[in-house]
Structure 1
Amino acid sequence: MLDISCNDQFPPGFGRQPWLINPINGTAEEKEPACTFINPINGTAEKKEPACTFINPINGTAKERTIPEMKGKKCFGCFGEWVILVDELTRECFFLSLISSSKVHLPPFLQTQALEECAGKFSLTSSPTSPNCIITFVPFEKDFILLSRRHDKEWTKLAITHCISNNKVSPITGENIIYKGRLFILSSGSVALVFDVAALVDGHIMETMSYPFHDYPFSTPKRDNYFVESCEGLYLVRVHLFDEVQHVTHIEVYRLREPSEEKDQNQDEISWDYVSSIDDQAFFLSRMHGVSVCTKEFGVEPNCIYLATPCSDGERLYKYSLVDKTFSFNELLPGDEWNFGENLFWTTVPASGMQDIELGTVPPDVVELNKDIAISDEKPESNQISRPWADLPTELVESLFQRLSLVDCVRVSTVCKTWSLTSQFIPKEIAWPWLMHSPDIDDGKCKFFDPIRGTEHTQKIEALSETNQLVFHASRDGWVIISEGEAIFILNPLTEEMMDLPDLYVDKYNCISFTGMPTTPDCRVFAFYFRADDKKVKIYSWRPGQEKWTKTVPHIDTPFSGTINNPVLFDGEFYLLDRRGQLGVFNPDNMKWRVLSQPEPLYKGQVPHHAHACFSLLEVEGDLVAVISKDDTHANQVFRLDRSKMAWRKVEDLGDFTLFVGLRNSIAVPSPLKSRRNRIYLPKFDRDHTNGVFYSMDDSRYHPEFYGVKEPTTYVWFQRQMSTVRKKGDGCSVNSAEHMEQPSHQD
């Protein structure tokens, strides 16, 4: 049994846990190429000779190791303890063991091409030491694959041009994996090509197609995909992020559905299921690389996905929890201190052949499970009352409202019809927006986070208990537009009243909004679609009683680069802010669209890369206000539209207002408390859900800092209307908030 825990060439604890390695490969002229080990938690690392950096995601240790065998080599992947290397001069290709330094040779690699043009990913059927191991190499955006067995003299090149030329398949991304004798290759068009490996060895290309992804309305310009094999099957993880700044916004997980034993094992039956949990597993991803570990064996938090990726501020380690559907991140190293390029890989050493290694103290921000306050399902026994609640003096009820929290105000107002009329006496300062998010869509529970008081409430909503990929789009007057795939409905989460809308394919709209109360005949819903080339706008409209959407395609004179942030209904028209900072206006009465020549765009020329994530438009006391941030670590910029001169004016102080901004919707309200004025709240909270994250216009800083805070993937800013809290019907004794659990923290 090999014991590497005593080897001083490795950091303490190297072995039975995932490590992030960065092979900073030396060139052929360098005398001492090396390997560096980095700590992804506290960002500690020393920059010395060209080295390979091993990063411990558990306790933050890091160490560099000089590896002579890596001199002049380029690393193309990592499989457990093995890295695959290609010599830059001779094109020698081999596996190298990080533990024993032993080699497994492969045929020379792509001698006729420049090495920098050969970016791609390797896959293999078994351990490199197995004589039956088959290795494949799939280059990025090419029309061929390379295949080799251990003892082959050269690579076999197989053209898959006929697959790429299929009008349903766009160029391959290079992401691939061999699973149960089949090679899965992902195309940039969200199609998985599936090949029989045994047939490929014989020189025959037998392929079929599968479609891993469901329609999901999240219009991010970039999506990274990772195949991950585990003991539970084959998974495909889809990461939504904003290009250039590389900020992660959403993560989806799919699992391959195997053909049933009763049916013929036909490749055409290949399909994928969206899953909301990976149970006792954890996935570790970096670039185009992913591994799965058993959390009990490796001592990491279960049901989580860890992603190392470069961002605008440097290298980040994201953690996405499938338990509460939130993600957070920490900085590995600042961008100006280290450039990782494409060299980060996760490595795991098999448990067999390893001695037990003491993992040491585990930082709470990495492995500690989220601790929610336990809520009892038992309901207190109701006491007999001698007279009806409605007979209480109005003055007493009004006084009661002045002393209750918002949740309790909702409950009290639904005791009976008479009390619902007193909702007008609820103090306005407690009617600020909540962050509505859905941590567990399987049981229909939604959470409402109050960023001002630092409390969180949970409510079970029956209408959401049997849905899968929910997306919260917009909120108005206590109602929320929600989609599940192409199905769309409007829901009042407090009363659970719901209105179904006709289906609308998710690729047909970027943003959506509505006018008026959904229960009134003058309510209209509008969905806007902006083509990627900025030269086409489509507008879909619906009103109660219609069986389908009405499509309008207005004439376009000025390119408009729309975002997913919802339009603002202002002076009877919808105003939209595009990624250049210019205004588009849609009139819902005459169905006319126009782009204003004034004010001038905030950004002239090309669309800035950061504009996807951080453009918000909202109304503040009769004025249009734009909130812009380059990314989530830079200062917010606020501009007010001066309508007298039709020009944007920079704002340094929000006065007595507080803003609540997000990717899809934003709300401005008079400051609920004097101490909360001049702030911009974001859809984030700290680990304990006791503090909302805000940007202070007073000191131009975020409170608290972004690193380590959590952000839900599905959310909307929700502001309830007390006039809508009573359920439909007479409702004298109906409590629409009876499922609303007590806040997890006291103010």
Structure 2
Amino acid sequence: MGQKHKEMSCRSLVPPLSPKYPWFVAQNLEAEDDGTQGQIFYNLHDPMSHYRCQIPELLGKCIRGCFHGCWVLLSSNHPRDVMWSLWNPITSKIINLPPLNLNGSSGDNDYIESYCLSAPPEHLNSVLLLTRAKKPNFVYCRLGRRKDSRWTESTYAKQVRIITGSDDLLHSLTCCNGKVFACISDYIRLLIVEVKILVNDRKRKKIGEVVITLLPFCEFAWPDDIGCLSQSFEMKGSCTELFIILIGLKNMGKTVVAVNVFKLDKNNMSWEEMEDLKDTILCVNLAMDSSCFVSPAISSSELGGYIHILDSEKIIYSYHVKEKTISLSPMPYLAGINNISVWAMFECTGLEHFHVDYKQEKEGDREDYEVESHLLNFPFRVLNMKDYECRLESDNADSKQENDKDVDILVRSVKGDEDETHLLNLPLHVLEMVMKFSVGVEYLKFRSTCKHCHLAAPLIQWNNGKALKRLQEYSLLSPWVIVFDKHKGIITFTDPLFGDKYYIKTPQELICDFHIKCLRYGWLLILKPDASLVLFNPFTSDIRELPQLSNHLGVDICSFSAPATSPDCMVVGVTVGPRYYHVCIHYIGGEPSWRKIRLDVTGGEFFHSFTFYGRDLYALRDDGGLDVFEEIGREGHSWVRNVAQAPTSCGKSSQQSFQVRCEGHLLQVIMGKLGESVEVFELNDYTKEWVKIKSLGKQTIFICGTTCVCMDAKMPQMENKIYFLSLPIVYYSLKTCRFHTFDNTNIQDSFGDLIGMKQHLAPHGWIEPSWL
């Protein structure tokens, strides 16, 4: 933070591109008409620098994709006769193709879906293949005999009808292992077909006939749909590998909330979800229909393992497949430019002689917390505080005498002396007195420190009256962070203030692609892939299945009013059907069914979040307005619409809104998409207007997409702050109006936005530990 952007001019030359990572090229075609604007080359490896160029071959041209090394596919921005060309930036060779007239179209973006070059242009049978976006047609041009090259359009509708029995369109043309593939999608499956291109070269002067045949290749089953996510998919082939990338979107397709990547296993022709991309880089452009970038191998593992996603708002989402984290980076230097015609990933394979070494300043690299505790393979029954036994690494002989139900616990310190601690100098009865003030995980950590502490901390049945009272009196300085790892089958808890980490095993019922819909009172409301809802307490291992909702309804926003152990616990959710919305209500201690209330609204997402306020349920809408369900769940309830309009915010970019109760008041926190602004508003109970406030007093707020918690600050250093769930965890101070990182509550860094900060994409949230 605090570094200055560096602009370099390359004039009419290609900048010194590196094959280690993808490049992004920004063009403003309207400004290029008068020669005042060129291209901006940018990469994530050196985010503080960019190259500004005026490359003649690119002026007035849209970059559509890169094929077979460095052949860049270009098209003109002419509204009628579109000029296509191939350009090699290494050799400066350019191949101009005949004009392509698409029947008076108003722009080729509406008529061309995807592009693929079947072989390098030098190959005798090379064909540039395009697909129409709204018609089942190929448009192609043979490059092997360029003197006689011409565009040809043919239909593939009959072939698709024979294969699928429907009139679907082809998507995602791509090359892999010398072959061309495409997708045919429906609501149930994704069918991958080989596009076999046969050039029949007859011994005559006329160009050879091109025959295109679709051959069924394999299928990809869509993962179970959960929530109301819209999905985008992209298929991309590298030299020998074929990938499918699924991207879950919310907020009208403006926010990436889920990313999954699958690779084809050629041995059994099945798709396996990737846990780690290792040195591979994938890039997807949601802003336009273009070829996806794949770098199958790079020299630095630090750069690999990412899927970079460019959206329509000029923001790059960088998703790390192994870590399950995502960070946002805006495309710089584009303020005030609203008519960007195309963004493209610039594939640099083969540009080794252009390679230059950059000095990389590792922003965001910070020391780990000084103490990090690992309770590895921690099963539920340990956090359940029932019969357990600690097996210390140094006590192998004694461990053999423990029964088979005992649990392995390993506690290590990242730093510090490995020798026995000074606790051994304390008498046993003193340690026993200290242990009376320990509870929960602290008790386990203390007991696992050494043999002396192990003797001072006997086994405890935590479900008896005395121990349960200690648990009820137990309090923490802050909520913890909970993160689920489906592939490893573990749940990670992190104490945000001190950095301690704890691990437990995920119950078998929850090792799936579920969504956390709400997180309160130490309980999670989870939507599973089969559309069933469950309440889960990870501290007691209590799982409570809720009655099944109608199968044709998709569950959107959910919340609950009390812990699942309370007889007054009420679960409320909104379901989205083909015609109507329904508010569904279920009492945990009542009838095993849902009560449904039909809402007089249709189309699109409607509610953003729910907040219980006594017997009333406040519903924050997507447009920022507020509705309230008065006396929800009781006879005579009412739905009051437009209780309050959206607050007036000074934020300029797309915004995120969070609603939370704080000391009997309803607050709304509004943050810019990149954290460039944070504002807090309080609802005036009399005027029903949102009033901006500048201080939280002695309160502190913990916020993420599934949790909004307001609580009294346990320490003065926590007052008047809003904690956000990122890596590292940061807080926003209403006093300094800046974000800060911290170590043991001491400020480590200060910055003005969240650009480049990593966010969890695996199921996660803030959780208040509860053993009830």
Query: Which residue does the alignment assign to 2:731?
Result: 694
Q: Equivalents in 1 of 2:366, 2:679: separation in Å? A: 36
Instruction: Check whether the contact 2:228–2:555 (CA below 8 A) recurs between aligned residues.
Output: no
Residue 529 (1) aligns with residue 528 (2): no
Q: Rate the CA distance shift 1:72–1:718 in 2: closer, same or farther, 3 A.
A: closer
1:292 equivalenced with 2:294 (yes/no): yes
Residue 197 of structure 1: SS of its match in structure 2?
Answer: strand
2:90 to 92, 95, 99: 99
1:215 pairs with 2:228: no
Aligned match of 1:153 = 150
Of 4, 24, 30, 1:20 maps to 24
1:423 to 441, 460, 471: 471
Q: Equivalent of 1:301, from 300, 303, 315? A: 303
2:137 partner amino acid: F
Determine the C-alpha separation between the residues in 2 that align with 1:555 and 1:27.
49
Question: 1:228 and 1:349 mapped to 2: Cα distance?
Answer: 16
Out of 603, 623, 626, the residue aligned to residue 665 of structure 2 is 623
Residue type at the aligned position of 1:83? V
Could you tell me which residue of structure 2 aligns to residue 743 of structure 1? none
CA distance in 2, matches of 1:369, 1:240: 32
For residue 524 of structure 2, what is the aligned residue in structure 1? Answer: 480
Do 2:514 and 2:763's aligned partners in 1 also have CA atoms closer than 8 Å? no
Among 486, 501, 504, the alignment partner of 1:457 is 501
The answer to whether residue 52 in structure 2 is matched with residue 53 in structure 1 is no
Deviations 1:480-522 (A, max 9, x none): 2234412543322223232344566696111223344434665
3-state SS in 2 of match to 1:280: coil
Contact 1:280-1:296 at 8 Å conserved across structures: yes
Structure 1 partner of 2:584: 539
- Using the aligned pairs only, state the percent identity: 16
Matched residue, 1:240: 248
CA distance in 2, matches of 1:648, 1:17: 46
Q: Partner of 2:261: helix, strand, or coil?
A: strand
Corresponding residue SS for 2:470: helix
**1:660 has 2:707 as partner:** no
Q: CA deviation at 1:177?
A: 2.7
Distance across 2 between alignment mates of 1:167 and 1:523: 48
Question: How many residue pairs are counted as aligned between the two chains?
Answer: 669
Give the Cα–Cα distance (whole angstroms) in 2 for the partners of residues 8 and 513 of structure 1.
58
In the alignment, which residue of structure 2 is the partner of 1:490? 535
TM-score scaled by structure 1? Answer: 0.75
Equivalents in 2 of 1:592, 1:217: separation in Å? Answer: 33
In structure 1, runs of 5+ residues without a counterpart are 1-5, 33-48, 262-270, 687-691, 725-747
Q: Following the alignment from structure 1 to structure 2, what is the Cα–Cα distance between the partners of residues 591 and 627?
A: 33
Q: Is the 8 A contact 2:661 2:710 kept in 1?
A: yes
Report the Cα offset of residue 714 of structure 1: 3.1
Residues 602-641 of structure 1: CA deviation (Å, up to 9, x unaligned): 279xxx9988x62322222233333334534343343333
The CA distance in 2 between the partners of 1:594 and 1:161, in whole Å, is: 55
Aligned residue number for residue 544 of structure 2: 499
Match of 1:728 in 2: none
1:82 corresponds to = 71
Equivalent of 2:483, from 423, 426, 437? 437
1:508 paired to 2:557: no
Matched with 2:346 is 347
**Distance change >3 Å, CA 717–CA 459, structure 1 → 2:** same
Kept after mapping to 2: 8 A contact 1:177/1:185: no
Paired with 1:108 and 1:638, the residues of 2 have a C-alpha distance of 56
**Deviation for aligned residue 1:50:** 3.3
**Residues 191, 212 of structure 1: 8 Å contact kept:** yes
Counterpart check, 1:112 vs 2:103: yes
Structure 2: distance between partners of 1:513 and 1:361:
49
2:195 is aligned with 1:197: yes
Whole-Å separation in 1 of the counterparts to 2:164 and 2:595: 27
Counterpart-to-counterpart distance in 1, 2:184 and 2:731: 39
Distance (whole Å) between structure 1 residues aligned to residue 165 and residue 574 of structure 2? 26
* TM-aligned CA deviation for residue 116 of structure 1: 2.2
Amino acid at match of 1:51: G
**Cα distance, 1:583 vs structure 2:** 1.6
1:651 counterpart residue number: 693
Correspondences of 1:328-477 after superposition (within 5 Å): 328-336=327-335, 338=337, 341-351=340-350, 354=352, 357=355, 359-365=357-363, 379-381=392-394, 396-397=434-435, 399=437, 415-417=460-462, 418-426=466-474, 428=475, 430-438=476-484, 440-451=485-496, 453-463=497-507, 467-477=511-521
The answer as to whether partners of 1:585 and 1:593 remain within 8 angstroms in 2 is: yes
Is 2:64–2:74's contact at 8 Å kept on the other side of the alignment? yes
CA contact (8 A) 2:539 2:769 kept: no
Amino acid at match of 1:213: W
Segment of structure 1 superposing worse, 465-474 or 156-165: 156-165
Cα deviation, residue 463, structure 1: 0.8
Mapping of residues 33-52 of structure 1, within 5 Å: 49-52=36-39
In structure 1, the partner of 2:416 is none
**Paired position in structure 1 for 2:745:** none
SS in 2 for 1:421: helix
Alignment partner of 2:725: what SS?
Answer: strand
Counterparts in 2 of 1:72 and 1:24: CA distance versus 1, 3 Å: same
- Residues 30 and 339 of structure 2 are in contact (CA less than 8 Å); yes or no, is this contact kept in structure 1? no
| Residues 518, 71 of structure 1: alpha-carbon distance in 2 compared, 3 angstrom cutoff | closer
Cα deviation per residue 1:624-677 (whole Å; 9 max; x = unaligned)?
333334534343343333435555444333222111222233111112222222
One-letter identity of the residue aligned with 2:306 = C
CA apart distance, 1:206: 6.6
Q: Which amino acid is 2:618 matched to? A: Y
1:224–1:240: 8 Å Cα contact kept in structure 2? yes
Structure 2 length-normalised TM: 0.73
Q: Is the contact made by 1:18 and 1:298 (CA closer than 8 Å) also made in structure 2? A: no
